[in-house]
């Protein structure tokens, strides 16, 4: 490969992998299975090894974790929380072993431990008392989750000895708790978590510790950051000491003097992984001797004295009986294989994603084919490969659909996409998906308007676009099955309340391609009104930091559409707010809240907690959940309680709701 081709591929891989990293680490919502990320990451490493001068600071090979979420206080790790190198074969483990032996001059003992599928966690104790819990974040700066950590039963708040010590480990959600949580969320109509790791991460990073307490999280502690505090020379002894101090330490481990023992350990737990009450995705090999660990040191991202061996995806064999196509909000038509039910990674599976037509052609998937399925990372079942030797005679290659399964319109294959797309803006499936998105919490937040109600409204010909929501009457809703007086009034009230949302909520709710919640807020801050945004040039949009040509072009195309212009006009006539209600970017730097760490507590009469947090953040504040010496301001409503008492004790400035209102009126 020539240098220019490598440069182009590396740039594409960096963009793609960093997108996956943000979704996985920051948003707790993975976009792809682990093995897909691992494959692309290995491609990146291979190219960087060939062309080391093309390595950039933003390469995933140089980064740990991702930027911490903004709604939690930040913690700086004095000793960085590094990641681990990954290998996927025993041959690679042997190569790691050889590197270690060559570096230290002799064979070494290894501590062999299970790789728990959870969220990295740091715990700091002073005089034996827990004072801080934090996530890894980007390795240097993590999130303060102390209040939530206090709700986890197997984390000791007081140690058996009065030590100053930091330990690290994994926070995870047991399989039974995960199943119960997802069952509950399904019953409530909420989205389910993709896997236990993301459920644990989402639970640990809650602003409300009561939610965390109900999620039944657990931990395994496996690292003593300062082992000299208790004079232990090896990882094995450190684990024993941490167990004596009161920490939950995984007992499924061994000390191996050679790789033969490691190989047996791997084989054993690949067989047992489904029977364990917690998720694992591999094993970890650590040089046991701390002196040797120190001699081997670290790279910018990973220790040279430990490696993770990741298990291959579990697979099962089944037969495809049908391929169904579904239409998403943006018109993308996605294929799903419908199969004979099969047990896979502990669950019963009868559907698997095929992603797109290119994937079907690449794997040559046909009706009645026998296939292998995998469920990497316990996320989405996917076809690994077709077993050609079991293919029935006279089968035909699968032909791509030519018409939309929802509206019958001709499907198109845009040049820059692999997906088939329905471009009919009035496609029922797209309109219904769009209505559901418009009503979602991060958009217009219309409580009670979920997919089932949207479907009923559509079937009764009551809505065709989002403007029709604001034309609904009490009499209209009496046609909806199961809707009584209270339900009707609640929905109408929620729809009416949404009229007053700030402009960024509307922008995100409209579902403009490539415009997410963050971009919508930046656009609303910059242009202040829908009218000014619709008139904005690409150059003006590109002047906003972090917004690129893709978003600028998408906005230009969207607002040039006469049907969109008509929709905006209708929404305006229906009294839907078209202005940004926060502070402009120019005002942000002048606010008294700018660069201030703010805590909100108590009951507020004129603000919802989330809305006030967003408003203060738009004025440059950093809103956190707990009072500490780093807090600059406490906003106290009625029944403020312990946070108010602590703020007074620390001498922190306190502002009541009346003072807050007066200040905001002057600034906004």
Q: Which residues are catalytic?
A: 115
3 state DSSP class of 127 = coil
3 state DSSP class of 71 = coil
Within 10 angstroms of residue 100's Cβ, the number of other Cβ atoms is 21
3 state DSSP class of 270 = helix
Q: How far is CA 285 from the centre of its chain?
A: 28
Beta bridge partners of 494: none
Query: What is the full DSSP assignment across 354-410?
Result: --SHHHHHHHT--TT-EEEEE-GGGS--EEEEE-GGGPPTT--PPPPP-B-TTT-PB
What does the alpha-carbon distance between residue 287 and residue 307 come to, in Å, rounded to a whole number? 9
SS3 content of the chain, % helix, strand, coil (to 5): 40, 20, 40
Cα-based distances in Å from 461 to 174, 428, 563: 45, 11, 20
Query: What is the full DSSP assignment across 283-347?
Result: EEEEESBHHHHHHH-B-SSSBTTEEEEEPPPPEEEEEEEEEEEEE-TTSEEEEEEEEEEEEETTE
What does the alpha-carbon distance between residue 223 and residue 238 come to, in Å, rounded to a whole number? 8
What does the alpha-carbon distance between residue 441 and residue 191 come to, in Å, rounded to a whole number? 12
Report the phi/psi class of residue 53: left, alpha or beta, with left for phi > 0 and alpha for psi in -120 to 50.
alpha
What does the alpha-carbon distance between residue 515 and residue 20 come to, in Å, rounded to a whole number? 18
What does the alpha-carbon distance between residue 186 and residue 161 come to, in Å, rounded to a whole number? 44
Query: What is the full DSSP assignment across 608-658?
Result: -HHHHHHHHHHTT-EEESS--TT--EEEE-BS-THHHHHHHHHT-EEEEHH
Residues 544/504, Cβ–Cβ less than 8 Å: no
Residues 559/531, Cβ–Cβ less than 8 Å: no
Residues 98/91, Cβ–Cβ less than 8 Å: no
Taken as a whole, the chain contains a residue count of 668
φ/ψ of 12, rounded to 5, equals: -65, -45
3 state DSSP class of 421 = strand
């Amino acid at each position: 490969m020539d240098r220019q081709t490598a440069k182009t591929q590396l740039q594409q891989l960096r963009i793609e992998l960093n997108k996956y990293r943000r979704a996985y680490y920051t948003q707790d919502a993975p976009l792809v299975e682990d093995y897909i990320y691992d494959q692309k990451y290995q491609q990146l490493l291979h190219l960087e090894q060939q062309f080391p001068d093309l390595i950039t600071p933003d390469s995933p090979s140089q980064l740990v974790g991702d930027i911490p979420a903004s709604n939690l206080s930040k913690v700086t790790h004095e000793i960085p929380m590094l990641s681990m190198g990954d290998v996927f074969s025993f041959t690679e483990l042997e190569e790691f072993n050889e590197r270690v032996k060559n570096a230290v001059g002799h064979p070494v003992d290894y501590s062999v431990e299970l790789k728990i599928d959870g969220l990295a966690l740091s715990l700091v104790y002073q005089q034996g008392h827990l004072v801080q819990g934090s996530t890894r974040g980007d390795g240097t700066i993590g999130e303060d989750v102390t209040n939530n950590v206090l709700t986890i039963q197997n984390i000791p708040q007081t140690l058996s000895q009065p030590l100053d010590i930091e330990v690290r480990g994994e926070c995870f959600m047991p399989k039974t708790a995960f199943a119960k949580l997802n069952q509950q969320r399904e019953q409530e109509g909420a989205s389910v978590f993709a896997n236990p790791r993301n459920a644990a991460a989402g639970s640990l990073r809650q602003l409300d510790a009561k939610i965390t307490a109900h999620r039944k999280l657990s931990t395994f502690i496996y690292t003593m950051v300062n082992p000299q505090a208790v004079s232990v020379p090896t990882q094995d002894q450190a684990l024993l000491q941490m167990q004596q101090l009161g920490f939950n330490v995984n007992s499924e481990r061994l000390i191996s003097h050679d790789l033969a023992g490691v190989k047996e350990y791997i084989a054993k737990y690949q067989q047992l992984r489904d029977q364990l009450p917690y998720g694992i995705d591999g094993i970890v090999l650590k040089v046991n001797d701390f002196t040797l660990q120190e001699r081997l040191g670290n790279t910018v991202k990973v220790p040279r004295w430990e490696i993770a061996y990741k298990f291959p995806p579990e697979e099962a064999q089944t037969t495809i009986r049908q391929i169904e196509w579904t239409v998403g909000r943006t018109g993308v038509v996605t294929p799903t294989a419908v199969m004979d039910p099969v047990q896979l990674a502990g669950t019963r599976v009868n559907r698997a994603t095929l992603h797109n037509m290119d994937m079907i052609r690449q794997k040559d998937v046909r009706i009645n084919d026998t296939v292998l399925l995998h469920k990497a990372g316990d996320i989405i079942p996917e076809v690994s490969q077709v077993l050609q030797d079991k293919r029935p005679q006279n089968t035909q290659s699968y032909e791509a659909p030519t018409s939309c399964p929802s509206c019958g319109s001709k499907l198109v294959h845009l040049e820059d996409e692999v997906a088939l797309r329905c471009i009919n803006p009035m496609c029922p499936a797209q309109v219904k998906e769009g209505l559901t998105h418009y009503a979602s919490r991060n958009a217009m937040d219309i409580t009670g308007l979920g997919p089932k109600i949207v479907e009923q409204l559509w079937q009764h010909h009551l809505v065709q676009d989002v403007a029709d929501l604001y034309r609904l009457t009490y009499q209209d809703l009496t046609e909806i099955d199961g809707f009584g007086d209270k339900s009707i009034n609640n929905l109408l009230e929620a729809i009416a309340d949404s009229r007053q949302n700030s402009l960024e909520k509307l922008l995100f709710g409209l579902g403009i391609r490539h415009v997410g919640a963050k971009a919508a807020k930046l656009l609303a801050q910059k242009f202040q009104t829908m009218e000014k945004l619709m008139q904005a040039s690409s150059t003006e949009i590109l002047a906003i930091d972090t917004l690129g040509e893709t978003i600028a072009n998408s906005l230009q195309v969207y607002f040039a559409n006469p049907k969109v212009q008509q929709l905006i006009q209708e929404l305006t006539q229906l009294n839907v707010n078209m202005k940004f209600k926060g502070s402009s970017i120019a005002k942000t730097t002048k606010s008294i809240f700018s660069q201030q760490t703010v805590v909100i507590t108590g009951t507020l009469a004129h603000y919802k907690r989330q809305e006030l947090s967003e408003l203060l953040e738009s004025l440059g504040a950093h809103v956190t959940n707990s009072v500490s010496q780093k807090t600059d301001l406490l906003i106290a409503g009625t029944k403020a309680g312990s946070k108010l008492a602590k703020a007074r004790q620390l001498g922190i400035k306190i502002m009541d709701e009346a003072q807050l209102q007066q200040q905001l009126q002057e600034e906004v």
